Structure 1
Amino acid sequence: MASKKGAYDTTASDTDFRKKFDRAEYAEKAAAREALEKEESKARYEAKLAGKKYYKPASGNEVLTEARNSRLDVSANVGKIVLMPAGAATGKRGRGAGFYCKDCDLTFKDNLQWVEHVNSKQHLVAIGESGEVRRAGRGGGA
């Protein structure tokens, strides 16, 4: 009669390949997540009572947005010929003909769309800026 061993002399079992989960570790993670969600919902509720909109606090690694020190050069590529592959970027995603933002991997067909994108929240988040500006004051400080 045939034995119950597999090809490599190991016992055949359907569930040996599955990952073993540590239930206590996942219970701790769930409790921590629920505590954070409870804090956030409380902050949302308090903001709603005060008649304000709730904004999630910044993570701390963002940089304040500053004014540009140079003008955007949209005429640098005028008159240049760039060969593009046949199927390159029929939409905005990816490298195509037009103005290309390497941080967001988007292509824009005209400079107005590109300038609006450079000033947009999506682009600022992609380059690590918060979109907030330091308030100017008379005292020389913030």
Structure 2
Amino acid sequence: MSIVPHKNSKPASGVDNTSRRIWDKDDFRKKAEEREAKASKEEKEDSAYEARKRKRLERDPLHQGLIVERTHLKQRDYQIDLAARLGKTQVVGLNMPLSQQAGYFCSVCDCILRDSQSYLDHINGKWHNRALGMTMRVEKSTVDQVRRKLEEVKERKNQPEQDDYLPEGIDRRIMEAEAAEAKAKEEKRLRKLEKKAKEDKQDEEDAGGDADMMALMGFGGFGGGKK
């Protein structure tokens, strides 16, 4: 059986109208590597965060059961000396413990801070105070406490100044060193005067002995005197 084409139908053009998509394998491989690198980075960050969190919980006295409740934020009872190691030379190694490395060591959190600003931010921060068993909230003072504090300040102002009072910005160690230096200079000057007095006395005694000896030998003065 033969099929006769319709008289109005168009002949085939002989061109394939279907299109095949071409995939860029290098581009997709690059995107896959970027996704893997991003996932690996996020995983590392999560693991580092979990490690820091675990260490903080291990240092937290509330988590360890050492305290029942956190206390309010309190004032430090010690003076921070940021210039204690200024001008000193220290040998630093990679295998040395944190407490002996260069920087500011926090024994509470077992960490090292490389500059004074970072150290101050750390000891005034949340996690350091949580490790000390305190919150970041300050206890509210009552009216009686404020009045008592004002009375103490007023009494302190009315009291006479003590001899050991130092104005702000003057170091007591500098004053003590200057006083010791002045005392040493004064002692040295007194020793010189005493030595000179002894030498003058010795010269007078020697001169008197020579005059007596000359008189015994019959020698008189040498010129200038009346006969």
Structure 2 length as normaliser, TM-score?
Answer: 0.31
Specify the structure having the higher radius of gyration (Cα). 2
Q: Which has the higher contact order (CA 8 A, sep 6+)?
A: 1
Structure 1 length as normaliser, TM-score?
Answer: 0.47
